[in-house]
A and B are shown apart, each in its own frame.
Chain A
Amino acid sequence: MTKSRILIVEDEVIVAMHLRLILERLGYECVGQVTSGEEAVKVAASTSPDLIIMDIRLSGDMDGIEAARRILANTSTRVVYATAYADASTMRRAMDSTSPAGYVLKPFVEHALRKTLEEALAKGISASGQAAHQPPVA
């Protein structure tokens, strides 16, 4: 069985290092680690990952939701949001415009991230992705 290939989009490099450590422990392959939406779009196109862990607030002008929207329009992959920015309107925008395969709220615990990734990867890929969870909106 081939390793699932995952792209990390995270502007806090320490958090990105942590995510990479978790992915390696879980036996996934990290195909890249970028800090902006613009880079994410570029790297997703060149590496075609199975899944993207996407922060919503990023450095640069493009946020994670917009980056995910652009990536999902052209590439078959899954997006899992990992964000501390979980207000109702942001989550609604994320759910409505990108139908993510899952999300974890920061600070995350490893087991929750692992579970979310496993569930997301177990799903078939569709260009629009699939919602693994209901959004945590009030």
Chain B
Amino acid sequence: MDLGAVAATTFEKLYETAPAAMLLIDSNRRIMLANNAAENLFGYGHGELAGTEVDALLPEAAEEERAGAVEGSAEPGTPESPVPAPELWGARRDGTRFPVDVVFGPLDLRQGESAVVAVVRDVTKRHEMEQALRQNMVIFERMFEFAPDAMIVVNSEGVIARANAQSESMFGYTRDELLGAPLEILLPVQFRERHHQYREQYFSAPRLRPMGIGLQLMGRRKDGAEFPVDIMLSPLESDQESRVALAVIRDMTVRAKLVEQEQMRRALEQKETLIKEIHHRVKNNLQVISSLLSLQADQLGAWVEERLLDTQTRVRSIALIHEKLSRTDDLAQLDFPAYLKDLIDDLKGSYGETHAAQIRLEADSRYFGLDTAIPCGLIVVELVSNALKYAFPEHRQGHVLVQFQVMEDGRCALRVSDDGVGIPDRVDVDKPATLGLQLVQALTRQLSGHVVIRRSEGTTVEIIFSPPREIVP
């Protein structure tokens, strides 16, 4: 055997056992030779490929096939992204296709005929990886674009390189306006200068961190409106020359409002607790005063005791107002008719439920604050006490009527009438000698009202006054 023949045999062996698929193709696109690997790759039996047209294995249609694949895999409306396009598609005998990488090498055969050696590699794995990678890119693109937070990529010069849809709506700029603009346009004017420095510091040691810990960060819209934001900064992997960072910006307007509401609610709650506590303390202190009066009265004999106990009743009428107020929602306005009812029940008790006179109440609905309720309460105490003490001597039967009327012009009338023996003529109601009537006169002045007394068929004392505007709790 000559050297050429040895080489040919060796080559043939190499060629037969090579792991790569190899085809020898003539100028008419027919396969002259195909090795084992090629037969296996395309699914043909031994020797079956010889004489077959190469187009059956690497169809001309590969071009169109690729176009179809592009359309099929790319979702409508997504940002443009190059779709996997293998150089060529291989076709197996059973018709299935697979991506291939083909290297062609021209060969000059004897007799001056030319041929081509094609080394075909199955690149399905690589193709799949590329496919997956591209899909991931699409997913990340969308996550960026449609994130509920504004996401802005900025370079170390502070220029906005990318911005997502939320950035546009949050800050009121179009994408075109944002891209290439300095990041500082998104900040309130007074922070811009300082932000330059912060940005430079950040890029000298970029790391993932929230921005401005403990500070109330503000963003600025194109229209000048400012709003609270939370910002997360993160360095993006890139070459050292062109450093970029991602800022994730969350609009905290709603959150800030909720926090504010919560703070207000708590302040209100504290205020209510405090006011309740004050009413409680006032009642407790009035109890101490009342007890002091009793203890003192006990040592001074019947006449003084009676007077001091009158004052105890007066103290009680004030305490009752605090009692009523501490049970209302706004702790400031009380239901006056309800107060009068309790006050009269108290008076009935004080003068003995066995008193021959009947007390009746007729009252219009009205809310009063402390300033009006206390003098009114004291006036009722004086007038009803007087009637019970003096109008019905010797267990005389009779009636006391307490009326509270809200008139059409807004003025109020407080009236206590009895059908008893009447005030003796010697009593000058304008210049009374007794503390009770003096108090009625003084308290009426305090209410900027006036007193009218009628002495026919018993006694009627009427107080007319203009109360402050009603605030219904």
Contacts and interface: CB of A to CB of B under 8 A. Distances in A.
Contacts of A111: 349-350, 352
Interface string A58-89: 00000000000000000000000000111110
Interface of B: 276, 280, 283-284, 286-292, 294-295, 298, 312-313, 315-316, 319, 323, 326-327, 346, 349-350, 352
Nearest to B349: A111
Nearest to B286: A107
A109 B312 CA distance: 8
Band of interface residues on A: 20 to 34
Contact of B290 (A17, A21, A86, A107): A107
A109 B350 CA distance: 7
Nearest to B315: A107
A12 B294 CA distance: 15
Given A14-B288, A107-B315, A109-B316, A86 B323 contact: yes
Contacts of B350: 109, 111
A133 to B, nearest CB: 14
Contacts of B284: 12, 57, 84, 106
Contacts of A107: 283, 286-287, 289-291, 315-316, 319
B294 A18 contact: yes
A15 B312 CA distance: 13
The 5 A-B pairs of least Cβ separation, nearest first, read: A18-B291, A84-B283, A107-B287, A106-B287, A107-B290
A88 B323 CA distance: 12
A21 B349 contact: no
Greatest chain B CB density within 10 A among A18, A106, A108, A138 is at A106
Contact of A17 (B276, B291, B316, B326): B291
Nearest to B282: A84
B295 A21 contact: yes
Interface in A11-56: 12, 14-15, 17-19, 21-22
B318 to A, nearest CB: 9
A88 B326 CA distance: 10
Contact of A87 (B276, B316, B349): B276
A127 interface: no
A84 B349 contact: no
Contacts of A106: 283-284, 286-287, 319
A12 B349 contact: no
A85 B282 CA distance: 11
Nearest to A84: B283
A57 B285 CA distance: 13
A84 B320 CA distance: 10
A86 B327 CA distance: 9
Nearest to A18: B291
A18 B291 CA distance: 5
Given A21-B298, A107-B286, A109-B346, A15 B291 contact: yes
